[in-house]
Structure formats: structure tokens, C-alpha cells
Structure 1
Amino acid sequence: MTRYVSSCFITLLVLFLWRVEDIAEACICRPQHPQQAFCNAEVVIRAKVVGKKALSNDIKNDIQQIKMFKGCDQVIHAIFTDTTSCSVTLEINKEYLFTGKLETGRMHITLCDYNPPWEALSAAQKNSLTRLYKSGCDCKIFPCTSLPCPIITSDACLWTDLGTDNGQNLACIKRRDGSCAWYKGLVLPKK
């Protein structure tokens, strides 16, 4: 009998720990450079949140679209976020940069997308949204958290200053020779 109880206890413990890991990892987001977020997103817009409504599985954030940087030809009137641990909390009457996906004609965002308040963006980031980020989508950006960083291919840029705003003001742009490099300017380099 003791062996049976012990066996059941171990089985339950393993099942519990397995589920805790699933729940704990439900919303783990890797650091994402603004250019990566731009390139990976289907839609990138600047918008003001004007209302909020809880639905059965989603939260519908009514928005007033200000500018479309990337995406479809239609005007987006609402942004949806789910009610899980990856849900995004948005303030009404505040402007944001939204990067997200289109699912059945509706824009969806998660906590792992890049959705900062508009006023938190630097002038370099705002300018990069109109041209620089798009021109660098052929380049890859690799985060480097500790030196020495691994050797990467020529079509990539190492992002070494993750904890600062510095790297977020740069854009990884493809050069004439096909290699990629960080660019500090506010406009594209001359070709």
C-alpha cells in the first residue's frame, strides 16, 4: 500500500511540475529590437486608444488610426488582445505604436509584440519607421547578452546594448556589398 501511495504521489508531482512549467512559460518574450518588431509584424500603425470592451475571449480596444507604417490598405478601427497572461493593458486617450498580426481581418497584439506609448519613442525611432526599418528587413538582428558574442553572418547585426536605449536608435541596413551594418543616421545613406 505504501508503495502504491508513493507511486501515485510521484506521478502527481511530475504532472503538477509539468503543468507549472507550461503555465510559467505561457508568456516569455525575448527582447526585440524595434526594427525586428517592424519587420516581423504584418501591420504597424500609430493610433490612439479611444475605448475598450471586454468580449468572451478577447479585449477589443477601439482606436483612432493616425498613421499606417506597414500593412493593409484598410483603416484599422480596433485592436484585439486576448485575456491570457500575454494580454496587453492599454490606456484610453493615449497614443501607441502598434505592431501586430492580422487574423481574419482583425489586428491582434500580444505582450511580446512591440507596442510602446508613442511619446516613449525617440526621434530616431520615429524617423526609422517611415523608411529605415523597411529597407533593413533583409538583415537579421541578433541579441548578444554577454561578450564574446558568437560570430554571425555578414547579413546580420549584433545587438550588444540590449539594456539601453542606444541600440534602439540604430537601424541595421544592408550595404552595397550585401553585408549589413548599424546605421546611426535619421535618413538612409546615399547609394
Structure 2
Amino acid sequence: MNNLVLTLLLLHLVGLREVVRGCSCFPTHPQQSFCQADFAMKAVILKRTDVNTAIDFTDFGFNNIKYDIQVLKLFKGPKMNLDAVYTGSNSAACGIHLINGTEYFLSGYLDLKGFLHVSLCGFVQRWEDLSSTQKRGVEWNYKNGCNCKITRCASIPCGSTFAECLWSDYQTLAVFRHFACVEKSDGSCAWFRGIA
């Protein structure tokens, strides 16, 4: 009887370990993702390859997908090792599916071995789907607003500080697609609406 209980408990814990591995991301404004990323670029996807070995210590045994890319424009990041990005093999591993021959805005992190990684938690989007404000943001406004803090506000009224832009649930899509938080000449921060 004790062995049965112990076995069931062990199986339950192994199952919980698998659940904990699932991808979970807190919604962020594209500018936050841009500012926190190690790299940001416009690139075209050339080829997808399944990679069966762990690339870095964050993979936890998940297989990876390697996408060979051609960088069309580098907005931030290293000027070397720009021939491929890696992602998890499925959405549970925060992996994303990219389409060969398609231009994307890619942002993500650089691992300890110098590999570029993209995930569901970062800002990755087909270039043609970016609003004109987002395109202007990745080219200029987002970088110049990295000193500003974007704070998500779940209910109104929200308090804010001098160097902060508030982002409420009521304005999620509009702020996401059409605004950048920019630093003004006095050091304060405010939402700037770009071209719609």
C-alpha cells in the first residue's frame, strides 16, 4: 500500500514538473520588449532546421528550432553572429513559428554562447503587420524612450511618476500599436502618438 502511494505521489510530482515548464509571459508594450532585448532587427527567414541538442542552459531539455536569417536592418545588438535565431520547438517552450521567405521584426536575447534567441515572450512580428508607429518606434522612438518606464495599470485612477507612462487595459490595442513612451526635454515621459 505504501509503495502504491509513493509511486502515485512520484508520478504526480513528475507531472507537475512538466506543467511548470509551460510558457507564461506577462503582457508588455513593444517598447518594453525592445528596450529589454539584447538585439532587435528586421530580417527575412531563409530556412528552418530542427536542432536536437540544447543550445544553452535555459532550454531545460526542449529541442530547438534554428531559423537561418538574412538581416535587413539591425536596430540594436551585436554586429556578429547574425545568421540565425533559435526558438523553442513548441509553444510550451515559448517557441514561435516563423515562415520562410517572410520579413519579420525580431527581438530577443543573446545567450552565453552567443546564440540569438526569440520567443513568445518577446516582440516578434511580421514586418508588414507592424503599424507605421511601431516601425518608426523600432527605428527611433523606442530606443530614445528606454529611460522611461511603462507601467501597466489595471484600474483607474492610476498614480504615476515623472519618468513613467501608464498603460491601462482600456487603451491596450491603441497604445500597443500607435503610441511610444518618449522622454521629453525636461526628463519627464509621455505617450507620443505616431502616424496611424
Verify same fold: TM over 0.5.
Answer: yes
In structure 2, do the counterparts of structure 1 residues 160 and 18 end up closer, same or farther at CA, with 3 Å as the change threshold?
Answer: farther
Amino acid at match of 1:165: L
The farther-off stretch of 67-76 and 114-123 is 67-76
- For the aligned residue pairs, the C-alpha RMSD in angstroms reads 2.6
TM-score (structure 1 length as normaliser): 0.82
What pairs with 1:162-181 in structure 2 (closer than 5 Å)? 164-168=172-176, 169-181=178-190
Measured after TM superposition, the shift of residue 101 of structure 1 is 0.9
Structure 1 residue 81 corresponds to structure 2 residue 78: no
Measured after TM superposition, the shift of residue 75 of structure 1 is 6.0
In 2, distance between residues paired with 1:146 and 1:132?
Answer: 27
The corresponding residue for 1:12 is 9
What pairs with 1:130-141 in structure 2 (closer than 5 Å)? 130-141=139-150
Structure 1 residue 40 corresponds to structure 2 residue 36: yes
In 1, distance between residues paired with 2:170 and 2:66?
Answer: 32
8 Å contact kept, 2:40–2:105: yes
Aligned equivalent of 2:165, options 157, 165, 172: 157
Give the length in aligned residue pairs: 181
Return structure 1 stretches of 4+ with deviation > 4 angstroms. Answer: 161-164
Amino acid at match of 1:48: V
Measured after TM superposition, the shift of residue 25 of structure 1 is 6.1
Structure 1 residue 71 corresponds to structure 2 residue 80: no
Gaps in structure 2 of 5+ consecutive residues: 53-62
In 2, distance between residues paired with 1:163 and 1:21?
Answer: 37
The corresponding residue for 1:62 is 68
The corresponding residue for 1:108 is 117
The corresponding residue for 2:49 is 53
- Secondary structure at the counterpart of residue 165 of structure 1: helix
In structure 2, do the counterparts of structure 1 residues 143 and 19 end up closer, same or farther at CA, with 3 Å as the change threshold?
Answer: farther
Structure 1 residue 97 corresponds to structure 2 residue 105: yes
- Secondary structure at the counterpart of residue 125 of structure 1: helix
Amino acid at match of 1:16: H
The corresponding residue for 2:26 is 30
The corresponding residue for 1:189 is none
TM-score (structure 2 length as normaliser): 0.80
Query: Identity rate of aligned residues, in percent?
Result: 39
